[in-house]
Structure 1
Amino acid sequence: MFRNILAHIPSERPVRPVIEVAIALAMARRSHLDAVAIGYESMGGVGMLVGSGGAAIASAVGAEQERAQERADAAISVFKVEAKLAEIAYGIRSFAAIPAEAGEAIGALARLYDMTIVLQPDSSKSRYDNDIPEAVLFNSGGPMLMVPYTHKGPLDTHHVGIAWDGSRLAARALRDAMPFLMGAKAVTVIAVNEEAGEASSDQLVGHLARRGVAARVQRLAVERGDVQAAILSIAAESNMGLLVMGGYGHSRLHERILGGVTRGMFESMTVPVLMSH
């Protein structure tokens, strides 16, 4: 029931979208909310000191770690003020890390929570914070709520959309989102290019009805490259406040690569999305 929530507070990007959604959820569900911020250590300047002696390098590394920690502390302090005003149960953590280790660290931390809230990446700006959602999706083992960087205010769960293709990942996201679905006033199952199978959208509606969730199906047929745009178009037309979908990816040389629809959602989402992998 999302009693234990983690929020990643960006240190390089706007913090308000995540803070507003996270605190409102904690208040509404009487949840404990922990927030974590990471300051990223840049080793570019340190590399220029190679050959200058161990003491000079150690001093430069220490100074960069301090600056990174200050950036993390500044981000978490904004959350702390808002959490105190909201009188919620919360905890805070901030630390410095090199970018290559930051994603793994927060992915492991997120495994202890019912849900992790992150900010949508912004591909127009090169920031290490952009890498965090992908790390959480693939490494946390739980649901990730990604908030658009243009979002304002709390999460609106009155109308929830389910991107359904009958896959294991879609089923996982559905189960993870059940607390939102059971409290929604309207639920729409979005079936794109649906084929006959055991886990059809009609069968899903019957399954949801047994849980007390009344849902309708909206079917559409589009070209493969237009799936993500079609889902977002339906969400906008129907005034959905939340989308639920599986987070797809594949391995390549021990790295996780986002699938096409998932990547498209990361880049151009216009509504908060709960994803599970």
Structure 2
Amino acid sequence: MTYKTILAVLQSKADAGRVLDCALPLADRFSAHLIGVHAEAIPVPYVTPMGFPDTDFIAASAEQNQQRSEEIKALFDARATRDGVSFEWQAMENVSGDSAVSALVAARASDLIIVQQADPDGNSGSHANVETLLFESGRPVLFVPYAVSVNSNFKKVLVAWNGTQQAARATFDALPFIKQAEQTEILLLDATDSAQQDGAMAGVDIAAALARHGANVTFASQASGGVGAGEAIENRIAETGAELLVMGAYSQSWLKEFFFGGATRTLLESMPVATLMSR
């Protein structure tokens, strides 16, 4: 398995450079085709006090949208051409102007989606519903932190493992990174005995499976120590120097959450390193 189609979601000029800093080296490394996607909002009809559509306002809005899209396209084209990767550009429109929502069709035909983590302090025009990609695309999403630089070599990988379907999906979706990493650690938190498995042996099978692919795998089982799972994972990232976190994404229903259910929200908001999630 490898990544041959990579989708870069570019919501604005503010996040485009950071996303491309990650996407372009990966496209080159995996000899992948890179698709850049950006959406603008469909101009909303504005009615004058006399009750007539304000055509000047609509035309001005459309012109501004087109200019913004063309600026991001020019940045994408220039950098992709410079790096010598196979690429294409897709410009779209929707009611909200959300590039993540518009990218869903292309995302479902991609091996890997790359998007910046939502920046809560960014202007409203730069916000993207990145969770839509995570929960509705059916494909792995690599989140680039908005506040931390990313080295896409990903020499150290941390896999948050709890034996669930989502964790398994994310782990094998990340296999191209895991195989190339110098070290991959399988992390279990608060593992307990069950009818199916001894808690002490909970991560042995996945570690062995990854090792058969040639990955250099280590194993760590620890107690969360009374902190939330998300915080415990962040602490382990700091301890190990991991450059990529791999974990399953869990719904926000408390009935469906398992060991790391609450960590999905925590890590989407804090995200100390690049994070690959699958649903």
TM-score, length basis structure 2: 0.86
Aligned-residue Cα RMSD (Å) equals 2.4
Q: 1:118 to 1:204 in 2, by over 3 A?
A: same
Q: 1:211 to 1:149 in 2, by over 3 A?
A: same
Could you tell me how far apart the structure 2 residues matched to 1:243 and 1:213 are? 16
Q: How big is each residue's C-alpha offset from its partner over 1:8-30, in whole Å with a ceiling of 9 and x where there is no partner?
A: 11216332210110001011111
Q: How big is each residue's C-alpha offset from its partner over 1:81-135, in whole Å with a ceiling of 9 and x where there is no partner?
A: 1111111111112233221775432122211110110001112335354333211
- Would the aligned equivalents of 2:248 and 2:277 in 1 still touch at CA under 8 Å? yes
Q: How big is each residue's C-alpha offset from its partner over 1:138-163, in whole Å with a ceiling of 9 and x where there is no partner?
A: 12111000001123354132111101
The worse-fitting range, judged by mean Cα deviation, of 178-187 and 97-106 is 97-106
1:256 corresponds in structure 2 to: none
Could you tell me how far apart the structure 2 residues matched to 1:178 and 1:157 are? 12
Could you tell me how far apart the structure 1 residues matched to 2:116 and 2:101 are? 17
2:175 corresponds in structure 1 to: 178
- Structure with a larger share of its residues in helix: 1
State the shift of 1:42 in Å: 6.7
2:156 corresponds in structure 1 to: 159
> Mapping of 1:1-277 within 5 angstroms?
1-11=2-12, 13-41=14-42, 43=44, 46=45, 49=47, 52-56=50-54, 58-99=55-96, 102-152=99-149, 154-197=151-194, 198=196, 200-222=202-224, 226-250=228-252, 260-277=262-279
Structure 2 runs not aligned, ≥5 long = 255-260
Could you tell me how far apart the structure 1 residues matched to 2:104 and 2:225 are? 34
2:257 corresponds in structure 1 to: none
% identical aligned pairs: 28
- Would the aligned equivalents of 1:232 and 1:270 in 2 still touch at CA under 8 Å? yes
The count of residues paired between Structure 1 and Structure 2 equals 267
Q: What SS does structure 1 have at the residue aligned with 2:245?
A: strand
The worse-fitting range, judged by mean Cα deviation, of 116-125 and 66-75 is 66-75
Q: 1:64 to 1:97 in 2, by over 3 A?
A: farther
- Would the aligned equivalents of 2:9 and 2:100 in 1 still touch at CA under 8 Å? no
Structure 1 runs not aligned, ≥5 long = 253-258
Q: 1:4 to 1:34 in 2, by over 3 A?
A: same
- Would the aligned equivalents of 1:38 and 1:95 in 2 still touch at CA under 8 Å? yes
TM-score, length basis structure 1: 0.87
Could you tell me how far apart the structure 2 residues matched to 1:62 and 1:12 are? 22
